[in-house]
Homo-oligomer: A and B are copies of this chain.
Amino acid sequence: MSSVFVEITMSLDGFIAGPNDEIDPLHDWLYPTRGFRKRHGMDGGETTQDSDILEEAMARAGALVVGRRMYDVAEGWDDNPPFHVPVFVLTRRPRELIAKEGGTTFTFVTDGITSALAQAREAAGEKDISVAGGANVIQQYLDAGLIDEMQVHIAPLLLGRGIRLFGDSNRAPRRLEIDRVIGSPAVAHLRFRIAR
C-alpha cells in the first residue's frame, strides 16, 4: 500500500515558519538545488545529495494533502504551481476544484482528514501521499496515527519564535524509529518510521 509521509524543514529549535509564516531563512538550503529549480520550472542548480533527497521526495509523491491556511499563505503560487500532482486542501468552506498548468489540481475537502487522505490515496495510485503542512495539519495526522514516515530537514538555525512543528499541546510521549540520517553543511536530513 502507498505510504503517507511528512517532509518538512524545521529549525533546530523546532520552528517550521516565522511568526508571520515566513519560510526564510529556513528554506535557504533548498534554493541552490537542482531539485528545487526543476520543480519550479528552472534549469541548472546544484546536483548535491541535498538535491537528491529533495528529488526523491518529489518523485514518490502522487498526491498532497495541505491545510487551508498553507494554501492561503502560498496564494502567490502562480499559474504553474510546483506540485504537479493533485493537491487536497482541508477547509471548512466548499469550493470548486481548481486546475492549474503543469498537472497541479486543488480539490477542497470539507469532510475531514480521513476523507482527504482517502481521496489523496485514490489519486496517488501506486505512489505515496505527502502530508505537506502546515504544522496543525501534520499534528492532526500524527495524532490520528495516519503517518508512516517523517523526514525532518533540520536547518542550522535558532529561529527563536514562530510556528512549532509539534505545537505546544501536551501530548503523550511517542517513540519513533530512526531510518536514515544524512548531513551536509546546509542541512541535516533525519528520516523516521512511525509505527501505526
Contact = CB atoms under 8 A, between A and B. Distances in A.
A187 B158 CA distance: 21
A139 to B, nearest CB: 10
A54 interface: no
A112 interface: no
Contacts of A157: 173-176
A183 interface: yes
Contacts of A164: 14
A20 interface: no
Interface residue range, chain A: 35 or more
Interface in A87-102: none
Nearest to A142: B158
B173 A12 contact: no
A144 interface: no
B176 A156 contact: yes
A40 interface: no
A159 B60 CA distance: 29
Contact of A178 (B169, B177, B186): B186
Nearest to A180: B183
Contacts of A186: 178
12 contacts: A12-B166, A12-B190, A13-B166, A14-B164, A14-B166, A25-B173, A156-B192, A157-B175, A158-B173, A160-B172, A177-B185, A178-B186
